[in-house]
Structure 1
Amino acid sequence: MSARDAILKRLYERADGPLAVPESDFAVVTRRGWSHEERLARFERWITSVHGEVIHVAAHDWTTALAGVLTAKGVRRLALGREHPVAAEARQALADVAVELVDADRDIEAWQQEQFERVDAGLTSTRGGIAETGSLWLWPTPDEPRLLSLVPPIHIAVLDADTLEDTFFDVVERHGWASGMPTNALLVSGPSKTADIEQTLAYGVHGPRELVVLVRHAGGAAGTDA
């Protein structure tokens, strides 16, 4: 009998019977009951507390705000996908803007050096956001590979306001992660940050130094009271 089997045998033969899985209604990780406005306020408060930037935009005119961000931050080369509606709309809107659009749907070996050295920003869609932690969640695809949000100095993410959930548990439950989780999922809660032994926090050392979230509102841009 192996050591593992011996340990399991002792557990199964406990004097007070086998161990049972404790019952839980998971109330500690869900059921916040926040309104739409409260979710927006909490999301913005937490993500901006770690140097994320939030811009509220009207869904029908979000590309105007995108163009403004690119100009303000001096972005000359923007990496993005092709197939997702966010990428398709951005490509159409930026056709006459002095920004070079870099195709992201390529094998990483074909443009690795270009991505690390000559791309100023990456644009991605998001699947939603988490109000409790101020996080975005992304499911990378061949059209929007994960390095698109992890490598360029600036990550611009487009979030629909009505896709905000209260907690991470709510996201996992509502979207059926147990039966349909991708090979990887990304949770983004701000720009890349790290700290040395003296606890001096630095941004952008191992990834984007800036995160800009364009929050799209179906009925027009709306602010929040954080």
Structure 2
Amino acid sequence: MSARETILKRLRERADGALSAPESDFSVMTGRGWTPAERLARFESMITAVHGEVHHAARGEWTQALAAVLRDKGVTRLGVGREHPVAVEARAALADGGVMLVDADRDIAAWSREQFETLEAGLTSTRGAIAETGSLWLWPTPDEPRRLSLVPPLHIAVLDAETIEDTFFDVVEAHGWAQGMPTNALLISGPSKTADIEQTLAYGVHGPRELVVIVRHADAPGQADA
């Protein structure tokens, strides 16, 4: 009899009776029925509860919000892609500013030390967000590699308000993950955090110390999301 079988035999023959599986509810988490305004409010409440920072801007003014964040945070070196519309707009808006734009679409080995030692912030787009958990979801690409959101001390993510969905299940179903799983999907729920044995949270130990989300609205924030 193997060690595993011996342990299981002892559990089955325990003095106070056989163990039985607890009742569990594995029903699909969907059908919340939240309105767009409720989704946005819940997402913001959940992500700010874990030290995420949220800024709102009209679609045509989001780069002004980005410039304000960079100025307030003292960022002088920003990692950014080239091809995604978010990167293109950011580059145009910051071309004459005091921020050095660091190309992210390079071979990892060519700028690994730069990422870890001198890059102050990384800017990425997002594919959407999850209201229930206050999470962003990203599909990294060569233009926006995963390190851009995981290595710099500050991650700035641009989110379109209308892409927030109720639950993770809704995201998987709506975007056909069963037919085409992403090779590397990132779920981001606040800045990097860990806890010791006493359950004391520490931020920024294994990744960004700060997460800033710029939420873009089709109209002025608060007018078209109800």
For the aligned pair, the TM-score class normalised by the smaller chain equals 0.7 to 0.9
1:27 deviates by 5.6
Deviations 1:132-167 (A, max 9, x none): 000000000000000100000000000000000000
Secondary structure at the counterpart of residue 60 of structure 1: helix
Equivalent residue number for residue 14 of structure 1: none
Equivalent residue number for residue 201 of structure 2: 201
How many residue pairs align between the two structures? 198
Structure 1 runs not aligned, ≥5 long: 1-25
Amino acid at match of 2:116: F
CA distance in 2, matches of 1:178, 1:188: 21
Equivalent residue number for residue 165 of structure 1: 165
Equivalent residue number for residue 187 of structure 1: 187
1:187 deviates by 0.2
Amino acid at match of 1:199: Q
Equivalent residue number for residue 38 of structure 1: 38
Equivalent residue number for residue 121 of structure 2: 121
Runs of 4+ in 1 over 4 A off after TM superposition: none
**TM-score with structure 2 length normalisation?**
0.86
Alpha carbons 2:158, 2:213 under 8 Å: kept? yes
1:28 deviates by 3.8
Equivalent residue number for residue 84 of structure 1: 84
Say yes or no: does 1:52 pair with 2:52. Answer: yes
1:40 deviates by 0.4
Equivalent residue number for residue 63 of structure 1: 63
Identity %: 77
Deviations 1:78-128 (A, max 9, x none): 001000000000000000110000000001100000000000000000000
Equivalent residue number for residue 95 of structure 1: 95
CA distance in 2, matches of 1:166, 1:186: 17
CA distance in 2, matches of 1:123, 1:222: 24
Secondary structure at the counterpart of residue 82 of structure 2: coil
Structure 2 runs not aligned, ≥5 long: 1-25
- C-alpha RMSD of the superposition: 1.1
**TM-score with structure 1 length normalisation?**
0.86
Secondary structure at the counterpart of residue 179 of structure 1: coil
1:197 deviates by 1.6
